[in-house]
Amino acid sequence: MYAIKQLSVFIENKAGELSDFTHVLSKNDISIKSILLADSTDFGLVRTIVDNPDKAKAILEDAGFSVRFTDVFGVKIEDVIGSFDKVVTALSKSNINIQYTYSFYESDTGIFIFNVEKDKFSEAVKALVDSNLEIISASHFYR
């Protein structure tokens, strides 16, 4: 229910590669809901949430991209001082290591995407729910 299928896609670190990636999605009627691009010397790693992850994975693989799913969860965070701290403190108190996080905004509300160790996923969600934080369901993103 709370696991969001994030696509992790490796692309070459050169001009035009991100455009090739986004073009494959757009011409196949896939909407990008959130995206993060991290780079190294030779390659980039695109982490993205789309409205139809299974279709996106299939068409990207057909186009030659290396794609895998990673389960992440989203937390709605108000735009007030200390709200992000409340989330990371709840996870820290439950001994949950945050592997990475990124965010985007919808209607002046922050949505923070979190990745934690796979075996701690349910525990992380429970810690946040117990702290009265709003977890975004996967259906929020999907068509």
Domain of 36 in residue numbering reads as 4-71
The tens digit of pLDDT for each residue in 2-41 reads 999 999 999 888 888 889 999 999 999 999 999 999 877 7
Of the residues 71, 93, 123, which one is the last residue of a structural domain? Answer: 71
Retrieve residue 107's tokens.
């209607």
The CATH number of the domain where 17 resides is what? 3.30.2130.10
pLDDT in tens, 104-126: 888 878 899 999 998 999 999 99
- Residue 52 near residue 143 (C-beta atoms within 8 A): yes
- What DSSP state is assigned to residue 27? H
65 and 79 part of one domain: no
Cα–Cα distance measured from residue 40 to residue 55, given in angstroms and rounded to the nearest whole number: 28
Q: Are 98 and 65 found together in one domain?
A: no
Q: What is the mean pLDDT of the chain?
A: 92
Please state, in angstroms and rounded to a whole number, the distance separating the CA atoms of residues 142 and 25. 15
